[in-house]
């Protein structure tokens, strides 16, 4: 997907049930925000020797993002690419972190000045995954900026603004016999109006990684 704000983006699905936020949530970039709900489809290849292989499309099947994974022994680094293969953000797991902390940087950087946000488990022991999300400017991390609740095992999650009940995105399993036969998991994601959908995709990739390595 082009980073030019005037370029064509994913198909948006106007719906009166979603009210745009007064203040747009822009984490990765304003070009990834739309004034309408954005419906995305995330396809994960489950029969592969590498981890973290995703394709993200719009409802018409046009590729918006790809996720570049790593081989078997390297579980701590992912790169979110646009459709042309340009790096958008890098996702890096902090080793020896009890709360499974991940950090997300702009492009392929790992420089602290390029940090966009970080995530950690809300508590060490959880029946269902709950992630606290902190923007880079929130260095004290006393209150999270966003919260993700759900489970990759249940194939569903909801992203909230802070500790509020304000939903900004939701994911659920898409039942597709053909996808199962092809060794793929398919998920539908609805990103609410004025919410950065590259940010939401990055959170879902982190959720998958935590699920994959919950026993590490």
pLDDT band at 44 (very low <50, low <70, confident <90, very high): confident
Residue, of 43 and 169, whose pLDDT is higher: 169
Radius of gyration of the chain (CA): 16
pLDDT digit string, tens, across residues 58-75: 989 899 999 987 654 445
Cα three-residue angle 36-41-44, rounded to 5 degrees: 150
- pTM attached to this predicted model: 0.83
Whole-angstrom distance between the N-terminal and C-terminal Cα of the chain? 34
48-54, Cβ contacts within 8 angstroms, sequence gap of 24 or more = 48/183, 51/75, 51/209, 51/212, 52/78, 52/205, 52/208, 52/209, 54/205, 54/208
As a whole number, mean pLDDT of residues 185-203 equals 93
User: What backbone torsions phi and psi does residue 158 show, to the nearest 5 degrees?
Assistant: -130, 140
pLDDT band at 129 (very low <50, low <70, confident <90, very high): confident
Residue with tokens 């790096």: 87
Q: Which helix (H) or strand (E) holds 156?
A: strand 156-161
DSSP symbol at 6: T
């Amino acid at each position: 997907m082009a980073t030019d704000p005037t370029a064509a983006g994913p198909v948006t699905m106007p719906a009166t049930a979603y009210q745009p936020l007064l203040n747009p949530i822009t984490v990765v970039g304003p070009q990834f925000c739309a004034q309408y709900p954005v419906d995305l489809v995330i396809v994960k290849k489950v029969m592969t020797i590498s981890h973290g292989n995703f394709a993200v499309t719009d409802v018409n099947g046009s590729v918006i993002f790809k996720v570049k994974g790593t081989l078997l022994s390297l579980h701590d680094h992912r790169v979110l690419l646009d459709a042309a293969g340009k790096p958008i953000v890098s996702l890096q797991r902090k080793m020896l972190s009890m709360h499974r902390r991940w950090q997300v940087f702009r492009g392929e950087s790992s420089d602290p000045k390029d940090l966009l946000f970080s995530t950690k488990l809300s508590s060490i022991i959880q029946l269902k995954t709950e992630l606290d999300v902190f923007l880079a400017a929130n260095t004290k991390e006393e209150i999270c900026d966003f919260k993700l609740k759900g489970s990759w095992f249940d194939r569903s999650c909801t992203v909230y603004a802070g500790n509020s009940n304000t939903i900004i995105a939701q994911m659920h399993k898409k039942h597709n016999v053909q996808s199962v036969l092809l060794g793929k998991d398919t998920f539908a994601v609805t990103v609410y109006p004025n919410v950065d959908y590259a940010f939401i995709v990055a959170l879902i990739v982190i959720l998958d990684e935590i699920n994959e390595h919950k026993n590490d």
